[in-house]
Homo-oligomer: A and B are copies of this chain.
């Protein structure tokens, strides 16, 4: 029922600038910010406008956090593990190697205490963050030559994000941090031997298969990458509460939309990549075990030297243990039976 008369109310016109860490060409991950901007505009009749700027338009892709912290832009869309150079604790919001899968990570953030721990950590940076996008489990990247044992990682120059680079370094590799748009030329020139980005849909666009044909899985460092919509705290406080409520809902929508888009597009792109000559390879159990050991050794070291890391790592680890046990009951048994039964029928 509609109650007449309508009440006149004034809401301010607000225009924000959002700096994305991603290039427009990567429509899925860049699109997270567009999903937010479009929903916020539609929900406010165009009164709250967020203009999205691609990586490099206002600031480089890896400087989005700094720009939001300084108030150069009101808002950003980024992966927080880009900022592990400031503090490794940033990685928890994105994902850590051999950590949680997509749903487990969302559960930790939204219902397992993760968001509160992260909000507390981000206070020092004058930033409020909202979960806004998910890639799903990623691929293990593109390699010029086969990687069969941990020894093959020695001296390997690889573009790899976040803490995974530190794990690779423990295994003798040489990690490089390069924004998405700059990876291909580095791989083509041979500045690097290997590169990981996200998964088949983006990777096909970026054309890595042309210059490094071995395509490994799984991306053990990213069981589910959470993207973040970050807002300058002082700017967030200027928003009417209705606009903030709309912004929060739009960020959740960006999570669902990006996750579904990657999930729907990745299989199609993977088939194309294989048709174009990409050679699909699983990481050996030996490599996974060595990397797993190195990752948790790193986490334990960090817990001894960095109190901010420790404050999040300990409850995260307890949450993780419960998640692993539970997902092995209903989720994994459903997946492992149906995926095989289904593909046998399809053959």
Contacts and interface: CB of A to CB of B under 8 A. Distances in A.
Interface of A: 1-4, 6-16, 39, 42-45, 47, 98-99, 101-104, 106-112, 136-139, 199-200, 217-220, 223, 238, 241-242, 245-246, 248-250, 252-253, 255-257, 259-261, 263-268, 270-271, 280, 282, 285, 288-289, 292, 296, 319-343, 345-346
Nearest to A36: B249
A200 B324 CA distance: 15
A20 B218 CA distance: 41
A292 B341 contact: yes
A112 B220 contact: no
Most chain B beta-carbon neighbours within 10 Å: one of A44, A246, A334, A346 = A334
Contacts of A14: 1-3
B256 A338 contact: no
Contacts of A1: 14-16
Contacts of A101: 331, 334-335, 338
A143 B330 CA distance: 16
Most chain B beta-carbon neighbours within 10 Å: one of A10, A47, A330 = A330
A324 B337 contact: no
A342 B330 contact: no
Contacts of A11: 6-7, 9
A60 to B, nearest CB: 23
Contact of A266 (B9, B257, B285, B326): B326
Nearest to A108: B264
A251 to B, nearest CB: 9
A243 to B, nearest CB: 8
